[in-house]
Each structure stands twice: as C-alpha cells, then as structure tokens.
C-alpha cells in the first residue's frame, strides 16, 4: 500500500529489563553494613563497660557528671587504687597485690583515716591514685585565706597527719599549690605562680619542722602551678573555689614525678 504523503514512520525501541536490581539497586547493602557496624560498636562498648572494675566505673562516671552542678563537690571524689572496704584498717592486706600496690594501699588507708578524723577536712578533700602513687587534694579554704600563703591555724592538724604518713611509710612527697584565675597575692607576690609556689613551700616547711630531722628534705618537693591546671572550667565562684587547692602526692622513691 502506498503511504500517504506526509505520513511519518513510528519507530518503537524495546529494551531488555534489568531484573530485580533495577528497582532496588545496591543501596540496601550500604544501609545494612552501617547497621551491622553500629551494632558491633554497641556490643563492644557494653563488653568494655562490663569488664571495668568498680573503682574504674566510679572514675569514669565523674567524666559524665554535670560539671556546673558538681563543681563544689569536685574535691570530694574518692577513687582508690584498689578497692578499700569501709571497715579496712591500716595494716590489713589484700590478696594478689604487688609490693608497689601494697605500698599504695597502705598509704591510701592512712590518708583515708586522716581525712576521717575531721568532718570539715573530709568535706573539702578527696583521694585519687595513678600507677605511681596516691594523691590527696585539699581545698585551699582549709589551709590558706584567699590571696595568702600564710598557713591557717587549723591547717596544723592536716599537715601533722601528712608528716605522720611520711614517717610511717617509705614514700616521697610532692606538694603542689594551685590558685584560681583571679588571685593576685595582694601585691606580695609578682604573679599567681609565686603565690601558688609559696603555699606549697609553706606546707613543706611546716612538715620538715614537724619531722624534727626524721624526714629528710630530699624526700620532699614543692611546686606551684598557678591556675594552669584547673579541676573544672571556670564559670562562677563555686568553680573557682574548687580550683584553689593544695595537693599532696605520695609516690615511691623510684618514681620521678612533679
């Protein structure tokens, strides 16, 4: 049949189907892989938390606390090198402890007993530890007035106890002074560095005098850190109070530390 003039040919093109993948592609594989990875991370985290010791969990919990709400309580945190029962007494021992850990254990017990003797001291101090030694943190209000490096009369009971621990155990001591970000020393010190160092030195001088020659000066050191190592971020008076402190770090003589 002859085609009429002006008629166009219609061309039809057929393509083969791409099968099931044409509708869904491979995106589900990516989503599934992400899900499996997230689940692996979750169960690994749960396993690590379950494997932590009680004192490690307590230490970790401090990191997730509301810093602003707990700023006034910072120095009250107690994280012991090994678990110390509430009824533990000096002289008791724990099974399977190395000689180094035994020394830390006994020092920690002595510090615990020292703090327990005075409620104000207990409310304004804390104990922690690391691989090398035991740290006692004392809020500055117990020992010094703001901007001052003159020991308060009530500081004597604390420092007497610090000296007794040095006499009882073969450990060395580093005393660290800290200020807040506003202290000036009332013009008696060029900067916060000298003020914090003077507080540490005043504590050291008292302890040496208390030892009456029984504590060698080579067993003690004093250091000032000014406001370079705050315990909490500074945002109000409570946080500044927490950052003003003196630290007493007991460690084995073989360990060099500041």
Residue 16 lies in a domain: no
Residue 146 lies in a domain: yes
Q: What is the pLDDT of residue 33?
A: 87
Q: What is the C-alpha separation between 237 and 183, in angstroms, rounded? A: 12
Query: For a pLDDT cut of 70, what percent of the chain falls above it?
Result: 72
Q: Are 251 and 174 in contact (CB under 8 A)?
A: yes
Burial class (CB in 10 A: 0-12, 13-18, 19+), 152: middle
Count of Cβ atoms closer than 10 Å to residue 213 Cβ: 8
Q: What is the C-alpha separation between 75 and 77, in angstroms, rounded? A: 6
Residue 27 lies in a domain: no
Q: What is the pTM of this model?
A: 0.67
Residue 15 lies in a domain: no
Residue 102 lies in a domain: yes
Task: Give the strands of the sheet with 133-139, arranged side by side.
Answer: 125-129, 133-139, 245-251, 172-178, 220-224
Q: Are 167 and 214 in contact (CB under 8 A)?
A: yes
Residue 232's nearest CA partner among 63, 57, 61, 58 is: 63
Question: pLDDT tens digit string along 171-191?
Answer: 999 999 999 999 988 888 999
Distance of CA 107 to the CA centre of its chain: 19
Q: What is the pLDDT of residue 67?
A: 42
Distance of CA 205 to the CA centre of its chain: 28
Residue 210 lies in a domain: yes
Total number of domains constituting the chain: 1
Q: What is the mean pLDDT of the chain?
A: 79
Residue 192's nearest CA partner among 149, 248, 237 is: 149
Res 125 pLDDT > 70:
yes
Question: pLDDT tens digit string along 62-112?
Answer: 445 544 444 444 444 444 444 455 555 555 555 566 777 888 888 989 999
Quote the tokens at residue 148. Answer: 């001052």
> Which domain, by its residues, includes 176?
66-251
Q: Which residue has the tokens 């700023």?
A: 71
| Ramachandran assignment for 61, one of left (phi > 0), alpha (psi -120 to 50 degrees), beta (any other) | alpha
Q: What is the C-alpha separation between 50 and 118, in angstroms, rounded? A: 36
Q: Which residue has the tokens 């540490």?
A: 200
> Which tops the pLDDT comparison, 170 or 101?
170
Specify the CATH number for the domain of residue 244: 3.30.1330.60
Q: How confident is the model at residue 214 (pLDDT cuts 50, 70, 90)?
A: very high
CB neighbours of 189 closer than 8 A, spacing ≥ 6?
A: 149, 195, 198
Residue 93 lies in a domain: yes
Question: pLDDT tens digit string along 141-163?
Answer: 899 998 999 999 999 999 999 99
Instruction: With both helix axes pointing from N to C terminus, report the angle between 99-116 and 155-168 in degrees, rounded to the nearest 10.
Output: 160
Q: What is the pLDDT of residue 68?
A: 47
Residue 162 lies in a domain: yes
Res 137 pLDDT > 90:
yes
> Which tops the pLDDT comparison, 65 or 167?
167
Burial class (CB in 10 A: 0-12, 13-18, 19+), 84: middle
Q: Give 78's DSSP letter.
A: B
């Amino acid at each position: 049949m002859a085609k009429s003039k002006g008629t166009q040919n219609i061309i039809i093109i057929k393509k083969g189907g791409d099968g099931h993948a044409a509708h869904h592609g491979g995106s589900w594989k990516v989503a599934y892989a992400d899900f499996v990875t997230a689940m692996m991370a979750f169960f690994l985290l749960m396993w690590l938390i379950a494997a932590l010791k009680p004192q490690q969990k307590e230490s970790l919990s401090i990191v997730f606390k509301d810093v602003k709400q707990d700023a006034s309580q910072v120095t009250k945190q107690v994280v012991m090198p090994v678990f110390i029962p509430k009824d533990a007494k000096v002289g008791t021992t724990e099974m399977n402890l190395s000689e180094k850990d035994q020394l830390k254990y006994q020092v920690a017990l002595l510090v615990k007993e020292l703090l327990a003797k005075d409620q104000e001291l207990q409310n304004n101090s804390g104990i922690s530890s690391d691989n090398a030694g035991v740290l006692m943190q004392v809020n500055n209000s117990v020992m010094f007035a703001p901007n001052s490096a003159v020991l308060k009369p009530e500081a004597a009971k604390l420092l007497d106890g610090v000296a007794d621990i040095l006499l009882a155990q073969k450990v060395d001591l580093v005393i660290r002074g800290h200020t807040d970000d506003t202290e000036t020393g009332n013009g008696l010190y060029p900067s916060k560095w000298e003020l914090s160092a003077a507080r540490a030195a005043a504590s050291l001088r008292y302890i040496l005098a208390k030892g009456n020659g029984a504590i060698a000066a080579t067993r003690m050191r004093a250091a000032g850190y000014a406001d370079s190592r705050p315990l909490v971020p500074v945002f109000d008076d409570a946080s500044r109070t927490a950052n003003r402190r003196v630290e007493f770090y007991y460690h084995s003589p073989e360990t060099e530390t500041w």
